[in-house]
């Protein structure tokens, strides 16, 4: 099992660092899956993290100038590591001016992901800083827990309003209630609602647009069950989970959308040029 | 940590008699010299007078237009607590612009308590010090190597390692950087303090930091360092012994599709991922599955219903390079949505 990657472009390094920093804001620990073409940061939904799950996919060739890996075996050509993304983020943030940054799987006092950066200096010799981030290797028999999540049979799919606006709204609502209802329809309307004994607050978003894949999904239902475009699909979620998702975003995505399975789950999807992030927040009673 | 300031003798009046010592709140003195810009524009002269009777130090700022600002600051007597050190007798001496050290400490977590500095004839290593044995296996280790030619002066007589408080170092670096004065670092064996010194024509500041004294643990680390001083191996991708470690750790094979057996409870807990290779091996032997042909990886739903294939297939134009699956022949199968969400 070997892994070695090298980033030499400063913009790639910056982008990679920002992705990892976003992940670190979403979860304390996650699984890093390495394949010859991709890196995945995976959080599988467990009671411990409130049932929230995450799937972040990066295409390695958009970040790394060199990328070599040998998985556990030729048939299972993958590496699965449990890692604390904050450590990676901290290490990467301080080496943004490096000439080159290498990521390696190493065995020090325990298995580590080592980040070695070559820093520019005035002298003839480059300065090298290494960060050994301890990781846990995940055995193959557990790999099935970290597979790409299937697209849920959503009731409504809608583009999100600007994340910053959403974050402002959710931040204020969090002061009033622990739970928030997200609802949306196929007419590009979305509402964020809270409802307590003392007060109800609803924020309305209009003209958001709906992703055009509704057709394929609605084929499930058959022609007699085409959804009424005004009908709202809603899910009640823990507001902190939604806030955590919004807080972590560092870069404006090129596309941001949300699938709602009525009273089941909110599936948030952010797309950047070379990174996709999916986040599932389950419904609460 | 203690610090001492002494104005150099040239060009300044110094009261004769026994040396005077007192201590005052820094904030009070800061209040006198609050705005540097204002001071430079309006103050012509600053008069400092000691009133021993009233236990007061009086700062009088003579400003333009005949304005005079008088600040009376009370002080407390202080015991003369002086660190015992003789930096000129120390074995290792280094001098550099503060920027070098500032660029070094930036790589360490702001919450890090202590840092270890080790030297050889032409290199200095700075790494974070991990207190607890328990933390050592989980902690992130950061190490930075500085070459001797990055320093103005690099003189090593003994290959030593000292561990001292990083927070204090950060504090004095802020000061040194603002003055732009070179910092000299003196250290000797572990246990004896490390002295950082900032000097110019009007002042000499010595920052004396205690170091961890030598114990067996430290000595072990020191000898290990001596052995590993050679320059980093040229790209040790092929040299890491992960393979042998992994072979010991993981002898299982992919289990068959989960549909063929009852869903297993979440297994990702610490007992499965502990570090002892032998223990892992034992755990794995107990739960090893029979040899099965590996069937389709995703058994919980139709393989096409992944985000990528649905999204890139339908939203982007067919010519897009991001499409992972061909558009035609995409069969949407009904599936049990409950399984998907889990």
Give the domains, in start order, of chain A with CATH numbers.
Answer: 2-146 (3.70.10.10), 156-282 (3.70.10.10)
Can you state the angle between helices A239-247 and A163-174, rounded to 10 degrees? 140
Of A146-155, A162-171, B230-239, B282-291, which range is least confident? Answer: B282-291
Q: Between the CA atoms of B35, B38, B39 and B45, what dihedral angle is there, to the nearest 10 degrees? A: -150
pLDDT at residue B243 is higher than 50: yes
Q: For chain B, give the number of residues.
A: 342
pLDDT at residue B290 is higher than 80: no
Of A167-176, A229-238, B286-295, which range is least confident? Answer: B286-295
Q: Do A153 and B253 touch (CB under 8 A)?
A: no
Q: A137 and B249 in contact (C-beta within 8 Å)? A: yes
Q: A81 and A88 in contact (C-beta within 8 Å)? A: no
Q: Which pLDDT belongs to residue B22?
A: 78
Q: Do B243 and A1 touch (CB under 8 A)?
A: yes
The C-alpha of B151 sits at a distance from chain A's nearest C-alpha, in angstroms, of 9
Residues 6+ away with beta carbon under 8 Å from A69: A2, A3, A4, A5, A34, A35, A36, A77, A79
Q: Do A107 and B275 touch (CB under 8 A)?
A: no
Q: Average per-residue pLDDT in chain B?
A: 68
The C-alpha of B202 sits at a distance from chain A's nearest C-alpha, in angstroms, of 30
Q: Which pLDDT belongs to residue B105?
A: 92
Instruction: Give the closest of B144, B240, B335 to A105, CB-based.
Output: B240
Residue B12: helix, strand or coil by DSSP? coil
- The bridge status of strand B76-77 relative to strand B68-74 is unpaired
Residue in A150, A218, A233, A264 to test binding to B, most B beta-carbons within 10 Å: A150
Tell the residue number behind the tokens 């939904």, with chain if given.
Answer: A45
Q: Which pLDDT belongs to residue B81?
A: 63
Structure tokens, B146: 């500085």
With beta carbons under 8 A apart, name residues in chain A contacting B139: 134
Q: Average the pLDDT over A275-280 and give the result.
A: 93
Of A176-180, B46-50, B329-333, which range is least confident? Answer: B329-333
Instruction: Give the closest of B143, B314, B340 to A213, CB-based.
Output: B314
Q: Do B314 and A152 touch (CB under 8 A)?
A: no
Residue B86 to residues A175, B79, B83, B187, B199, Cα–Cα distance (Å):
59, 21, 10, 10, 16
Determine phi and psi for B194, rounding to 5 degrees: -100, 135
In whole angstroms, give the CA distance from residue B49 to residue B120: 49
Q: Which pLDDT belongs to residue B80?
A: 64
pLDDT at residue A58 is higher than 50: yes
With beta carbons under 8 A apart, name residues in chain B contacting A219: 332
Of A122-126, A199-203, B272-276, which range is least confident? Answer: B272-276
pLDDT at residue A249 is higher than 60: yes
- Taking CA–CA distances from A125, the nearest residue in chain B reads B147
Instruction: Give the closest of A57, A125, A136 to B147, CB-based.
Output: A125
Q: Which pLDDT belongs to residue B40?
A: 86
Residue A235 to residues A152, A179, A239, A264, B88, Cα–Cα distance (Å):
14, 10, 11, 6, 72
Verdict on whether the full-model pTM lies above 0.80 = no
Q: Average per-residue pLDDT in chain A?
A: 89
* pLDDT digit string, tens, across residues B214-238: 654 444 444 444 333 333 444 444 4
pLDDT at residue A10 is higher than 60: yes
With beta carbons under 8 A apart, name residues in chain A contacting B235: 4
Q: Which pLDDT belongs to residue A277?
A: 93
Q: A51 and B341 in contact (C-beta within 8 Å)? A: no
Q: B50 and B77 in contact (C-beta within 8 Å)? A: no
- pLDDT confidence tier of residue A25, bands split at 50, 70 and 90: very high
The C-alpha of A197 sits at a distance from chain B's nearest C-alpha, in angstroms, of 32
pLDDT at residue B12 is higher than 80: no
Q: Average the pLDDT over B157-170 and give the result.
A: 91
Instruction: Give the closest of A90, A109, A127 to B144, CB-based.
Output: A127
Q: Which pLDDT belongs to residue B35?
A: 84
| Percentage of residues in chain A having pLDDT higher than 90 | 72
With beta carbons under 8 A apart, name residues in chain B contacting A157: none
- The bridge status of strand B123-128 relative to strand B204-209 is unpaired
Q: Which pLDDT belongs to residue A273?
A: 82
Q: Which pLDDT belongs to residue A108?
A: 83
With beta carbons under 8 A apart, name residues in chain A contacting B245: 107, 111
Q: Which pLDDT belongs to residue B287?
A: 36
Of A153 and A216, more confident: A153
Q: Do B254 and A137 touch (CB under 8 A)?
A: no
Q: B163 and B218 in contact (C-beta within 8 Å)? A: yes
In this complex, how many residue pairs, one in chain A and one in chain B, have their CB atoms less than 8 Å apart? 187
Q: Which pLDDT belongs to residue B291?
A: 36
Residue B51 in contact with partner chain A when CB distance is under 8 A: no
Distance of CA A57 to the CA centre of its chain: 8
Q: A104 and A7 in contact (C-beta within 8 Å)? A: no
Residue in A78, A113, A151 to test binding to B, most B beta-carbons within 10 Å: A151
pLDDT at residue B298 is higher than 50: no
Q: B301 and B340 in contact (C-beta within 8 Å)? A: yes
The residues facing A183 across adjacent strands are A191, A234
Of B276 and B27, more confident: B27
Q: A208 and A162 in contact (C-beta within 8 Å)? A: no
- pLDDT confidence tier of residue A163, bands split at 50, 70 and 90: very high
The C-alpha of B236 sits at a distance from chain A's nearest C-alpha, in angstroms, of 9
Determine phi and psi for B169, rounding to 5 degrees: -60, -45
* pLDDT digit string, tens, across residues A67-119: 999 998 888 899 999 999 999 999 999 999 999 999 999 998 889 999 999 99
Residue in B108, B143, B240, B254 to test binding to A, most A beta-carbons within 10 Å: B240
Of B296 and A271, more confident: A271
Q: Do B243 and A125 touch (CB under 8 A)?
A: no
- pLDDT confidence tier of residue B17, bands split at 50, 70 and 90: low
Q: Do B340 and A123 touch (CB under 8 A)?
A: no
Tell the residue number behind the tokens 């892994």, with chain if given.
Answer: A3
Portion 279-318 of B in contact with A at CB < 8 A = 280, 284, 287, 289, 294, 297-298, 300-301, 305-308, 310-311, 314-315
Q: Which pLDDT belongs to residue B21?
A: 75
- pLDDT confidence tier of residue B111, bands split at 50, 70 and 90: confident
Q: Which pLDDT belongs to residue A241?
A: 92
Residue B306 to residues A190, B303, B325, Cα–Cα distance (Å):
25, 7, 10
Q: Average the pLDDT over A49-59 and give the result.
A: 89
Burial class (CB in 10 A: 0-12, 13-18, 19+), A52: buried
- Taking CA–CA distances from A217, the nearest residue in chain B reads B332
Most confident of A47-51, A165-169, B42-46, B277-281: A165-169
Instruction: Give the closest of B250, B311, B340 to A152, CB-based.
Output: B340
Of A248 and A193, more confident: A193
In whole angstroms, give the CA distance from residue B57 to residue B48: 7
Of B167 and B313, more confident: B167
Instruction: Give the closest of B249, B280, B297 to A147, CB-based.
Output: B297
* pLDDT digit string, tens, across residues B78-105: 666 666 677 788 889 999 999 999 999 9
């Amino acid at each position: 099992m070997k892994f070695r990657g090298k980033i030499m472009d400063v913009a790639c390094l910056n982008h990679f660092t920002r992705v990892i920093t976003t992940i670190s804001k979403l979860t304390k620990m996650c699984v890093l899956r390495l394949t010859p073409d991709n890196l995945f940061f995976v959080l599988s939904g467990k009671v411990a993290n409130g049932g929230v799950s995450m799937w972040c996919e990066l295409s390695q060739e958009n970040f790394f100038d060199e990328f070599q890996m040998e998985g556990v075996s030729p048939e299972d050509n993958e590496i699965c590591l449990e890692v604390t993304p904050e450590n990676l983020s901290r290490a990467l943030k301080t080496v943004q001016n490096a000439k080159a940054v290498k990521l390696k799987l190493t065995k020090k006092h325990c298995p580590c992901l080592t980040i070695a950066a070559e820093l520019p200096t005035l002298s003839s010799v480059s300065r090298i800083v290494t960060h050994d981030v301890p990781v846990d290797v995940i055995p193959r028999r557990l790999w099935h827990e970290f597979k790409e999540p299937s697209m849920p049979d959503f009731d409504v799919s809608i583009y999100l309003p600007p994340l910053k606006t959403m974050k402002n709204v959710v931040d204020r609502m969090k002061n009033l209630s622990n739970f928030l209802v997200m609802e949306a329809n196929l007419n590009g309307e979305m509402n964020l609602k809270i409802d307590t004994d003392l007060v109800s607050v609803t924020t309305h978003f209009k003209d958001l647009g709906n992703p055009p894949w509704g057709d394929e999904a609605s084929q499930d239902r058959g022609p007699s069950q085409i959804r009424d475009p005004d009908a709202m699909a809603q899910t009640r979620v823990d507001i902190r989970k939604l806030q955590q998702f919004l807080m972590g975003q560092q870069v404006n995505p090129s596309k941001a959308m949300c699938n709602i399975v009525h009273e089941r789950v909110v599936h948030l999807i952010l797309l950047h040029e070379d990174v996709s992030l999916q986040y599932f927040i389950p419904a609460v009673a | 940590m203690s610090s001492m300031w002494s104005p150099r003798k040239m060009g300044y009046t110094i009261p004769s008699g026994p040396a005077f010592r007192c201590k005052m709140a820094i904030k009070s003195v800061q209040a006198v010299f609050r705005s540097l810009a204002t001071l430079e524009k309006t103050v012509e002269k600053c008069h400092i007078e000691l009133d021993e009777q009233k236990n007061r130090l009086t700062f009088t700022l003579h400003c333009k237009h005949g304005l005079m600002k008088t600040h009376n600051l009370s002080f407390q007597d202080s015991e003369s607590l002086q660190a015992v050190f003789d930096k000129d007798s120390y074995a290792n001496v280094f001098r550099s612009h503060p920027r070098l050290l500032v660029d070094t400490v930036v790589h360490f977590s702001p919450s890090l308590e202590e840092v270890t500095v080790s030297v050889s004839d032409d290199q200095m290593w700075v790494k974070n010090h991990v207190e607890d044995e328990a933390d050592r296996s989980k902690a992130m280790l950061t190490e930075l190597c500085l070459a001797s030619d990055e320093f103005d002066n690099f003189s090593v007589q003994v290959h030593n390692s000292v561990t001292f408080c990083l927070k204090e170092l950060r504090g004095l670096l802020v000061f040194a950087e603002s003055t732009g004065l070179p910092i000299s670092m003196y250290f000797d064996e572990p246990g004896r303090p490390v002295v950082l010194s900032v000097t110019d024509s009007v002042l000499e500041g010595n920052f004396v930091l205690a170091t961890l004294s030598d114990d067996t643990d430290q000595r072990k680390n020191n000898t290990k360092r001596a052995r590993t001083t050679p320059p980093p191996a040229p790209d040790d991708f092929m040299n890491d012994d992960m393979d042998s470690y992994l072979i010991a750790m993981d002898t299982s094979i992919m289990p068959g599709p989960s549909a063929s057996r009852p869903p297993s409870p979440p297994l990702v807990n610490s007992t499965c991922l502990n570090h002892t290779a032998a223990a892992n091996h034992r755990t794995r032997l107990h739960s090893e599955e029979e040899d099965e042909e590996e069937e389709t990886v995703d058994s919980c739903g139709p393989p096409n219903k992944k985000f990528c294939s649905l999204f890139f297939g339908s939203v982007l134009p067919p010519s897009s390079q991001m499409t992972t699956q061909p558009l035609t022949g995409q069969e949407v199968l009904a599936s049990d949505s409950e399984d998907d969400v889990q």
